[in-house]
Amino acid sequence: MSRRDTIEVPNPLHTLRVMGRFVRRQVKRSGSMPGTLVHTGEKKMDRVRLRVLDYDPSGLREAEVAMPEELWALRDTATTSWINVDGLHDLDLISRFGEQFRLHPLVLEDLVHVGQRPKHEEYDDYDYIVLPMLTWDVERGIVQDEQLSLVVGPHWVVTFQEREGDVFEPVRERLRAEKGRIRARGADYLAYALIDAVVDRYFEVLEKVGDRTEELELEALDDPGPDMMPRLHQLKRELVVLRRAVWPVRDLLDGLVEGESTHVTDETRVFFRDVYDHAMQVIETVEALRDVVSGAIDLYLSTVAHRTNEVMKVLTIMASIFIPLTFMAGIYGMNFEHMPELHLPWAYPVLWVAMLAVAGGMVMWFRRRGWL
């Protein structure tokens, strides 16, 4: 049996999992002291992975670090350092980062409390930025989001991710190959390059969602199946996830462009303005896709209603033709003794001729009215 021959029945547990993507489970005890570290996400790695790229215009050092103590000296070096942390479940390690880089307790709390709204916060020694990294799960047909946190200091950037694997390999390649101006710029330009890579991935996700939307729209117009509505609603939910993820990024980037952060130079603000334009394009595309999906749902309902009306019209015409024939058959099917037509030798063929004439006349009348 093909997929089109089955109707997907919504599973209540699946509905709960879907809503869990919008409403995060609160595991922190009510009334806890501000800055209490509680990891609210899943443990997606067995061991936290630490990687560092330390560079200046003359060279680059790239390494995977086993002990976090090797990273503390990078805070005060003249070179630009990018420290990447994969995995947020080691609260002791996060706390030690906070001590060494002098991070505010509320920043540490937001680092491990995943599902934060995209935002930009300015502190005396650094800027704290949160935004989602999005990927498209081809097998499940859903949008997966991951919280990315950036702490941008005078000469260093620390990125915190939930799991291994990201969208930053093009940035690493540029640093290794010394392409463009990235080696000669500071930490604020590195933060721009990382955020730009995240926003560029949004377009790839939108392309996948757009292809899926076009496919379902054509199917809704040509040959909608019984499982069409569940798939359209699933796609609509994914667009809600996208909208919820990317809409606040506009305000985040607007703050970086228009703000007065001492850690972002005027030269870098120009590049952030370009990322802001890209984010606006993403938002506009998401809104357009939402309209297309809503139109596809209306189109599907209209197509199904039209088909139902066509079927009902045929059944109604057939019933209208047979009603007078049933009446005539009922008259001569009564068991009265004195029915003169029953004793005539030509009564039976006359009745057939009359019934066929009535049926033929009604068919011609329906055709003349355009009902057939």
User: What CATH number is attached to the domain comprising 265?
Assistant: 3.30.460.20
The last residue of a domain, from among 284, 303, 322: 303
pLDDT at 7: 37
Q: Confirm if 356 and 349 have CB atoms less than 8 A apart.
A: no
Q: Confirm if 158 and 114 have CB atoms less than 8 A apart.
A: no
| DSSP annotation string for 285-329 | HHHHHHHHHHHHHHHHHHHHHHHHHHHHHHHHHHHHHHHHHHHHH
Tell me the sheet residues that pair with 144. 135
Give the pairing type, strands 156-161 and 80-86.
Answer: parallel
Which residue segment(s) compose the domain that 171 sits in? 32-303
The Cα–Cα gap between 248 and 350 comes to: 81
Residues 265 and 344 in one domain: no
Residues 276 and 343 in one domain: no
Going by pLDDT thresholds of 50, 70 and 90, the confidence category of residue 163 is confident
92-102 burial code (b ≥16 CB/10 A, e <16) = eebbebbeebe
Q: What is the mean pLDDT of residues 221-231?
A: 79
Q: Does residue 27 sit within a domain?
A: no
pLDDT at 6: 39
CB under 8 A, 24+ apart: contacts of 304-310: 304/224
Q: Does residue 204 sit within a domain?
A: yes
Q: Given a cut of 90, is residue 180 above it in pLDDT?
A: no
Residues 277 and 361 in one domain: no
Q: Does residue 265 sit within a domain?
A: yes
Tell me: the pLDDT tens digits for 238-272? 888 889 888 999 989 988 888 767 788 888 999 99
Residues 139 and 36 in one domain: yes
Q: Which stretch of 1-10, 78-87, 121-130, 164-173 has the lowest confidence by average pLDDT?
A: 1-10
Q: What is the mean pLDDT of residues 13-30?
A: 52
Going by pLDDT thresholds of 50, 70 and 90, the confidence category of residue 22 is low
Residues 210 and 359 in one domain: no
Residues 294 and 346 in one domain: no
Q: What is the mean pLDDT of residues 316-322?
A: 81
Q: Which stretch of 6-20, 296-310, 335-349 has the lowest confidence by average pLDDT?
A: 6-20
Residue type, 125: D
The Cα–Cα gap between 335 and 356 comes to: 24
CA 367 → CA 195, 203, 308, 364, distances in Å? 66, 54, 20, 5
Residues 229 and 342 in one domain: no
Q: Confirm if 192 and 266 have CB atoms less than 8 A apart.
A: no
Where do the H-state alpha helices sit in 71-149? 91-100, 105-112
Q: Does residue 269 sit within a domain?
A: yes
pLDDT at 33: 63
Q: Does residue 6 sit within a domain?
A: no
Tell me: the pLDDT tens digits for 320-371? 878 888 888 887 777 777 777 777 788 788 888 888 888 888 888 878 877 7
Q: Given a cut of 80, is residue 115 above it in pLDDT?
A: yes
Q: Does residue 2 sit within a domain?
A: no
The last residue of a domain, from among 257, 283, 303: 303
pLDDT at 4: 42
Q: What is the mean pLDDT of residues 270-280?
A: 93
Q: Given a cut of 90, is residue 284 above it in pLDDT?
A: yes
Q: What is the mean pLDDT of residues 187-196?
A: 94
pLDDT at 5: 41
Arithmetic mean of pLDDT over the chain: 83
The Cα–Cα gap between 351 and 330 comes to: 12
Tell me the sheet residues that pair with 130. 119, 149
Q: Given a cut of 60, is residue 10 above it in pLDDT?
A: no
Q: Given a cut of 50, is residue 45 above it in pLDDT?
A: yes
Tell me the sheet residues that pair with 267. none
Q: What is the mean pLDDT of residues 184-208?
A: 92
Say which DSSP state 352 is in.
H
Q: Confirm if 254 and 276 have CB atoms less than 8 A apart.
A: yes
pLDDT at 347: 79
Between 61 and 38, the more confident residue is 61
The last residue of a domain, from among 303, 323, 355: 303
Residues 233 and 361 in one domain: no
Residues 361 and 295 in one domain: no
Going by pLDDT thresholds of 50, 70 and 90, the confidence category of residue 198 is very high
Residues 293 and 348 in one domain: no
pLDDT at 351: 81
Residues 236 and 345 in one domain: no
The Cα–Cα gap between 251 and 257 comes to: 10
Where do the H-state alpha helices sit in the chain? 12-20, 91-100, 105-112, 169-177, 187-222, 228-258, 266-331, 347-368
Residues 338 and 252 in one domain: no
Q: What is the mean pLDDT of residues 38-54?
A: 82
Please, how many CA atoms are within 13 Å of residue 5, restricted to the half-sphere of its CB?
2
Percent of the chain with pLDDT over 70: 89
Q: Does residue 172 sit within a domain?
A: yes
**Sequence-separated (6 or more) residues with CB below 8 Å from residue 300:** 220, 224, 228, 229, 232
Spatial CA neighbour of 149 closest among 169, 125, 127, 165: 127
Q: Given a cut of 70, is residue 183 above it in pLDDT?
A: yes
Q: Does residue 153 sit within a domain?
A: yes
Hey, what are 60's tokens?
A: 């680059």
**Total domains present in the chain:** 2
Going by pLDDT thresholds of 50, 70 and 90, the confidence category of residue 3 is very low
Q: Given a cut of 80, is residue 280 above it in pLDDT?
A: yes
128-142 burial code (b ≥16 CB/10 A, e <16) = bbbbbbbbbeeeeeb
Q: Confirm if 90 and 50 have CB atoms less than 8 A apart.
A: no
